[in-house]
Amino acid sequence: MKSHAPKPDIERVIAEIEKNKGLQPVPLFGTERTVIAVIGDERALDEHHIASLPGVSKVMPVLQPYKLASREARKEPTTITVGPVTIGGDEVVIMAGPCAVESDKQMEVAAQEVKKRGGHILRGGAFKPRTGPYSFQGLGREGIEIMARAAKKHSMVTISEVMDVRDVEFVAQHIDILQIGARNMQNFDLLKEVGKTKKPVMLKRGMSATIKEFLLAAEYILMQGNPDVILCERGIRTFEDETRNTLCIATVPIIKNLSHLPILVDPSHGTGKPHLIRPMARAAVAAGADGIMVEAHPNPIESQCDSDQALSMEDLSEMIEELGPIAKAIGRNLATL
Amino acid sequence: MKSHAPKPDIERVIAEIEKNKGLQPVPLFGTERTVIAVIGDERALDEHHIASLPGVSKVMPVLQPYKLASREARKEPTTITVGPVTIGGDEVVIMAGPCAVESDKQMEVAAQEVKKRGGHILRGGAFKPRTGPYSFQGLGREGIEIMARAAKKHSMVTISEVMDVRDVEFVAQHIDILQIGARNMQNFDLLKEVGKTKKPVMLKRGMSATIKEFLLAAEYILMQGNPDVILCERGIRTFEDETRNTLCIATVPIIKNLSHLPILVDPSHGTGKPHLIRPMARAAVAAGADGIMVEAHPNPIESQCDSDQALSMEDLSEMIEELGPIAKAIGRNLATL
Amino acid sequence: MKSHAPKPDIERVIAEIEKNKGLQPVPLFGTERTVIAVIGDERALDEHHIASLPGVSKVMPVLQPYKLASREARKEPTTITVGPVTIGGDEVVIMAGPCAVESDKQMEVAAQEVKKRGGHILRGGAFKPRTGPYSFQGLGREGIEIMARAAKKHSMVTISEVMDVRDVEFVAQHIDILQIGARNMQNFDLLKEVGKTKKPVMLKRGMSATIKEFLLAAEYILMQGNPDVILCERGIRTFEDETRNTLCIATVPIIKNLSHLPILVDPSHGTGKPHLIRPMARAAVAAGADGIMVEAHPNPIESQCDSDQALSMEDLSEMIEELGPIAKAIGRNLATL
Amino acid sequence: MKSHAPKPDIERVIAEIEKNKGLQPVPLFGTERTVIAVIGDERALDEHHIASLPGVSKVMPVLQPYKLASREARKEPTTITVGPVTIGGDEVVIMAGPCAVESDKQMEVAAQEVKKRGGHILRGGAFKPRTGPYSFQGLGREGIEIMARAAKKHSMVTISEVMDVRDVEFVAQHIDILQIGARNMQNFDLLKEVGKTKKPVMLKRGMSATIKEFLLAAEYILMQGNPDVILCERGIRTFEDETRNTLCIATVPIIKNLSHLPILVDPSHGTGKPHLIRPMARAAVAAGADGIMVEAHPNPIESQCDSDQALSMEDLSEMIEELGPIAKAIGRNLATL
């Protein structure tokens, strides 16, 4: 309560708390002000409602607002198995492929190369969230089909982004893992829609999302009955302008502590600069990431989007070679197909 | 180019630029490095593609990437008239109403009160983007109908948020101005969909969006043939934790300089604290905002969402009374119904 | 406490709190975890120490950590009178002058012009904190003397920055108000040193300082026995790159609410763009600022530093003319000399 | 230039550029606007002055503003040898010790333990920059002497922060490496002062400093003739509130690319949470950091400051044991004494 809040204000707050079954208010009368502690699951309480009552100075929640996503809900880590690949287990997984799906030929080469170089999952964007309307927006459903064909030919597991609720069913029919991009992390209708599918979902952290909001977005998907959520840190927006985003490696151990969900890192979007991808991939694995997602293109210079941040297939090989010893150093291994 | 980039690299970049009709590369040979200037509309060029060429150090665009939204495309300000209200003209407009539509009765009182207190447009949320899945998510289409009925009864112009592409048509049938919330500023499919309607659209700035990205999001709507876009600053995310967001008043004169579109300010979400709403509304109008959007509830304490930031109707009156003289001081007036 | 923290951990925390006279621990046993409330002035407690005890999950302070700077310490606003000017009272004060002191002639013209145009206090930098070592670093003590001479001739009150503890005494002998720049807001030795003088001190907010840290920096000065602290918001660092900094106008009503100290706004550094200075100065006054500090140069193009953000004297006149009606609209006036 | 800038404006800018010896302006006449390229070392030009000329829209520097700190000035990495320890070479160095020097006994145990556990350099703060004036401010010069005695007894190299220009000489007499804290990164007088000593200086990145500003601060020290500058990333301030700061691991490869100076990482201040220190230390070494600085206390719970982020000596052992294999994985080793 505010200092010197009048008694009726205090009584009103107590009454409002008591309206919630299972909550018990405990007023603590200090010298300067009264604090009203609440015993019980405070998530039953509308924090903003209490904050709006007269005489209230601040509401300070003690518990985390997510449940299904929390470590307390589930002690052992969630592992997600798609074909021959398990995410969230002892082994570190590599997702790689071009930023945008461009053609059958490009994707076939990509699938073959990613597999040959040691990657486990093929990525490729058919629906591209582009900052400006004049940029290439992706091939859409045709791109999804191209990708599915290429992956099938080379027995690769696939991941691709879905942006529009109307495309969820179609993408879920062709692609193994649905990706929610950073810009849609709080597109709640989309989260609900992918939560209704039976496909694993990789949720990327929004550019300005706190860890708490990130886990609450995961909670939206989990709540629909889909337990297979993979998280992916891809950088947050800060004042630093040497990199496209500030890749927050600490997200990895923080998530490992708060949640049972697997956490990957995307150093391509997280830095926007090819020469930073390899060191940041190493850092992510050293910090305990369950995998790495990178852009790799058979011919980066010909890439139709974000080509300035794609690795060549040679670079991809070198990155994967470097990650093996790092994983070993912390008692893990790279996955093998 | 990087310092000491080899000649073939330089020649390749020149060749790539020349591939674009209307672009003329002009190499400038300095002592440390070569800079390749480009004459022509650089927006024809894929910046990321050029950046990925060997030997390239940095691509520095000179022009803004948006066209339709820019002052250069249209010198005179865009004005948008909805019923008796004109937005973007000489007069300052007030949008007010509850955070969430709750019932017929609540909205009727809200419509009546907002009008009586001097507000011009009735706001109210039927689709609520809530950070957590356990919070009240709004009444949905039923809420839209409730709002339309209440507004009709009191001859009020309405604005309400649409979140899901599948609801755009429905909302456009009942509501006068479609609102795109901050979390959906880069939900590009939604932008395209509202761009196809004939209703004015108010686009709120994303929490981590630069001004450039904000105008590019507007460009998505404009490109679909809908010229009636209203911008709304509602705060960006920073380290400061005294307020829910950092309300960036400078956005107002910046937008006025770069664009012809009207710009409003939302001090409710921009601060999250009732006692800051009035001073920030005054600041916005003093800086040249075309209007103010605020949350006002007939009974804030009973409000079902974000009630801690809603004004009471008495506060709304006082805010509007204060804004009149501020508007006058800079040669404008509050609109009258 | 962490959920399921063992009993000895809980007992230890209680014992540690009891070590502090006047503090009373109140354990609240919830279903998931135990919370230990503390009654008494928690500022006696070392938050970090308690946080480090085994089993502790989080320490959540209820009180603000500053005392002398708080509204609770002093209800009525602090007013500071320097010669004919009072800061923090009913009247709005204008501080103007060149970024850097360059010559006797320049400062004499500046003093004369600022006074003629309606400014109240002459600013000018002799010690310049420049990001790079190759930029002009100011005339130093000679600049202070130049400024003092020019101000004396035109009977102007002066303000100038001091950066080095070894210069405090010298500057205090010649200048009326000592300024602590944003980069030195947490240069604690400097704060202590100006706190020992009898001159008013204007403290600028650091680029990454929270409001709490800003007031704690003021507390450092107040604690030394100097009650005359003026605060100045000059923008914080965010991802937005249209302006040099993000000028946080909300700081004005926030400070008015938390503290009794006067608060000014500097729209020159806060935006870094001349065309944004006037609208942001209006916004600041509309929000309740006690004054405005701007850069104004008799001949901006010849200015030796930051000339791109200086107003001409004509612009200064127009700004001041605009601010009068804004001040009136909220029941204040511009000061008169 | 602005679009349609009049000819005299263009001519004036050209004339101003030509005033600088060695700079050659090259006007490029586009369809919408004129761009004036500059050939030569643009650092001779005052960017802000040009920006202030009539008709100028934007100044876009091509070169980095620092010289001595840049890779171009010196291709091979700077290595700094202090007693038996070399920083910036092939081996990774550990600096550890308590946040604050408290007593002879505490520092003797710390010195002995840090050495035994595999640390190379003893840290300890005698001058403590504390956010609030009521927190323990350190033992000052006495603390420096205590530390020097303890280190001598155990033949340890020492590092300690200096905050006040008046203490530089004293600290330099007793301590091997002078540390400039994050809050003083732009305390330019202090930078100049430590630049005049012959002791190595470790410069911590400011909480809101860009990489460019960080290197410009190093440039201030280098310019005084002191070549032995060590950089240290310790986290920047962002909206994320799970950690005290956002530790930016990408700084390591960015600095390696732009500069020849060694770069260390401080995961204690960078996270503020003990359970994040080990994973972030691993990440830093994996990314190529030349060393790690951590807080470690013989008895963290008794620590007088920031005790919540100090490792115990057992944790320090485990951290160092983990870092060995990570260093090996990238072809380096931990240093040995």
Residue of A nearest to D235 (CA): A248
Separation between Cα atoms, residue C329 and residue D243, nearest integer Å: 44
Q: Tell me if B220 and A66 make a contact (CB, 8 A cut-off).
A: no
- Give the tens place of pLDDT for each residue, A100-135: 999 999 999 999 999 999 999 999 999 999 999 988
Lookup: tokens for D29: 């006449």
pLDDT at position D304, please?
67
Angle at C276 between CA C270 and CA C278, to 5 degrees: 100
Q: How far off is chain A from C40, nearest CA to CA, in Å? A: 6
Question: Which residue ranges does chain C devote to CATH 3.20.20.70?
Answer: 80-334
Residue A307 has pLDDT above 70, yes or no: no
Say whether A66 and B309 touch across the interface (CB within 8 A).
no
* Chain C residues lying within 8 Å of D237, measured CB to CB: 208
DSSP labels for A307-330?
A: GGGPBPHHHHHHHHHHHHHHHHHT
Confidence of residue A190 (pLDDT cuts 50, 70, 90): very high
Q: Give the pLDDT confidence of C265-286 residue by residue, as tens digits.
A: 999 999 988 899 999 999 999 9
Whether D306 shows a pLDDT value over 70: the answer reads: no
Cβ distance A280 to D211 less than 8 Å, yes or no, reads no
Question: What does the pLDDT read at residue C306?
Answer: 61
> Using CA atoms, how far apart are residues B284 and B251, in angstroms rounded to an integer?
10
Q: How far is B244 from chain D (nearest CA, A)?
A: 11
Best probe of the A interface among D259, D265, D266, D282, by most A CBs < 10 A, is D282
Q: What is the DSSP letter of C113?
A: H
**B159: number of CA atoms within 13 Å, CB side?**
31
Asked if pLDDT for residue B284 goes beyond 80, the answer is yes
Residue C325 sits at the vertex; the CA angle it makes with C323 and C328, to the nearest 5 degrees, is 110
Contacts of D186 in chain C (CB under 8 A): 129, 131, 183
Of the listed ranges B230-239, C224-233, D1-10, the least confidently predicted one is D1-10
Contacts of A328 in chain D (CB under 8 A): 325, 329
Gap from A205 CA to chain D (nearest CA, Å):
12
- Average pLDDT score, chain A: 93
D103's enclosing H/E stretch is none
D71 vs A contacts (CB less than 8 Å): none
Residues of chain D contacting residue C244, judged by C-beta atoms under 8 Å apart: none
Please give the mean pLDDT across all residues of chain C: 93
User: Cα distance from C263 to chain B (closest Cα, Å)?
Assistant: 14
In this prediction the pTM is 0.94
Q: Which residue has the higher pLDDT, C59 or A239?
A: A239
Quick: pLDDT tens for C180-224. 999 999 999 999 999 999 999 999 999 999 999 999 999 999 999
Alpha-carbon gap, residue B69 to C176, rounded angstroms: 49
Mean pLDDT of the D6-27 span: 88
Which numeric CATH code is attached to B80-334?
3.20.20.70
Q: Which two tokens stand for residue A17?
A: 């708390």
Nearest CA in chain D to C220: D133
Calpha distance C5→C33 (Å, rounded): 8
Per DSSP, C27 falls in state E
- pLDDT at residue C75, rounded to an integer: 92
pLDDT digits 0-9 by tens, D57-72: 888 887 788 999 999 8
Pairs across A and C, CB distance < 8 A: 48
pLDDT at A306: 60
pLDDT of residue C301: 72
Residue A64 to chain D, least CA–CA distance (Å): 12
DSSP for D221-265 reads HHHTT---EEEEE--B--S--SSSSB--TTHHHHHHHHBSS-EEE
Cβ contacts of C206 on chain B, cutoff 8 Å = none
How many beta-carbon pairs below 8 A join chains C and D?
Answer: 120
Q: Which pLDDT score is estimated for D137?
A: 92
pLDDT of amino acid C35: 87
What is the C-alpha separation between C139 and C99, in angstroms, rounded? 12
Q: Are B190 and B163 in contact (CB under 8 A)?
A: yes
Contact B292, B94 (CB under 8 A): yes
Q: Which residues contact B290 (CB under 8 A, 6 or more apart)?
A: B87, B88, B89, B92, B93, B230, B262, B263, B264
Give the distance from residue D246's alpha carbon to the nearest chain A alpha carbon, in angstroms: 7
Asked whether the beta carbons of residue A62 and residue C62 sit closer than 8 angstroms, the reply is no
* pLDDT tens sequence across B162-201: 999 999 999 999 999 999 999 999 999 999 999 999 999 9
pLDDT at C307 over 80: no
Q: Give whole-number Cα distances, B319 to B281, B322, C171, C318, D275, in Å.
A: 8, 5, 44, 27, 49
Buried b or exposed e, range D242-254, using 16+ CB within 10 angstroms: bbbbbbbbbbbbb
Instruction: Give the separation between CA D313 and CA D308, rounded to whole angstroms.
Output: 14
H helix or E strand, kind and range, residue B231: strand B229-233
Please give the structure tokens belonging to residue A252.
Answer: 């990895």
pLDDT digits (tens, 9 = 90+) for C111-120: 999 999 999 9
Per the CB < 8 A criterion, the answer to whether B135 and B303 are in contact is: no
Q: Which of A59, A308, A309, A314 to mutate to test the interface with B (most CBs of B within 10 A)?
A: A308
Alpha-carbon gap, residue B214 to B209, rounded angstroms: 6
Q: What is the pLDDT of residues B92-115, one digit of tens each?
A: 999 999 999 999 999 999 999 999
Neighbour subunits, A (≥3 Cβ pairs < 8 A) = B, C, D
Confidence label for A149 from pLDDT (cuts 50, 70 and 90): very high
To test the contact with chain B by mutation, choose from A41, A167, A171, A186 the residue with the greatest count of B C-beta atoms within 10 A, namely A186
- Which among A210, A247, A325 has the least Cβ separation from residue D239? A210
